[in-house]
Copies of this chain bind each other. A is one copy, B any other.
């Protein structure tokens, strides 16, 4: 749905595998849900870095011929979603540049909050910028570091940035993964079975597809260097409180991925169970908004005893460019993706479970559709608290004024959605369900407590003008 939050990136790196770029291709394929706008792979044959990136889906971009031109035992890849304004190839990653020490490729999931400030400083001292990615700032800082070893240059650079970053770097002989001290975005470490090969990637589901073993998460503030001498962990940054993105548990991650030691699917079911306790409803059936609402709806059903049904059917053949040609029936919106199953909802009191509400436009259409299919009552249940604040750590969110929960009371939202009742999960309920222990979370989208202080511009509503040139 376009009316949702979008994770901005997924990354995948592998070292020590004879078909590194093939593995990267498969890994990105499994991470496609983290970004569908562009994708790229860079590999190294030990001499040069070769790369290919394009707008589009992984499976559409990479042919056997293109992959055959990406040789070597080390590769990194990236999938990207971005806002419309900067939907351009020049912002696709990995970003590959030449600098003093040779070539380097970088793939970034996250967002820097002081990129604009650093960019200005770098420009003043003579740097040029060819993209509108904050990632370009990191590369400049690496190039300007006076350290010799690439690891030290990277640390030098990252000591100057603030924000969320799960980063992969590749030089002609090294794969380096770094997670910011708060550990805002995920990063997992894995190992190919048998002959070896080390993998660092956003989610464990990418490991499953290539039949690699999930070892553990890269720790907040940890730098992992993989080269001919093995895999080494470093702790080059000052320690900080972990602030893992709680929304990965709610929506972004694939349900078959493991984060914080727990399967995401299980977390979402728990959210649904908790939701049923906090916001019960007297109803005949519980239906999810597919596919993201399914585990929470199952949990709601389990806790409430109300039967679960797939009352909304998803059309899988969306194609590249659905047009809404007609004048007589306007605003298809979600109808082209979902249809209500009359046999399930007609004459019933229906609980509809979704993971979150952003603008509310999609929810309103879904409720209208279920009502049209004959539902007697509709109780909308959300397996997270109201999202009231934009994210500045790597997620594409609307402006605050466009978040319905930021500008409407629950009652007003319920009226807008035309649901009979509307229930959100509580903050306490949310925190009770996500894996706890040493992990603490960033929940700024619900609370406005931004774990990393923002630049002045970013705390406001407007995205700053990062770039004075635009590609069409």
Contacts and interface: CB of A to CB of B under 8 A. Distances in A.
Contacts of A211: 329
Nearest to A94: B469
A237 interface: no
A33 B52 CA distance: 29
B322 A310 contact: no
A318 B58 CA distance: 9
Residue of A32, A96, A298, A321 ringed by the most chain B CB atoms within 10 A: A96
Interface residues of A, number: 108
Contact of A100 (B62, B69, B126): B126
A326 B96 CA distance: 25
Given A99-B123, A143-B127, A319-B57, A468 B325 contact: no
A51 interface: yes
Nearest to A42: B469
B100 A256 contact: no
Interface string A197-218: 0000000010011110000000
A310 B18 CA distance: 35
Given A50-B469, A60-B320, 4 more contacts: A33-B315, A57-B319, A98-B128, A102-B468
Majority-rule SS of A interface residues: mixed
Given A129-B98, A263-B341, A343-B262, A19 B327 contact: yes
B309 A298 contact: yes
A57 B25 contact: no
B210 A329 contact: yes
Nearest to A470: B50
A340 B256 contact: yes
Given A98-B467, A319-B57, A343-B262, A255 B310 contact: yes
Given A105-B469, A325-B25, A265 B343 contact: yes
Contacts of A63: 321, 323
A139 B317 CA distance: 31
Interface string A88-128: 01000001111110110100000000000001000110111
A294 B181 CA distance: 42
Nearest to A372: B211
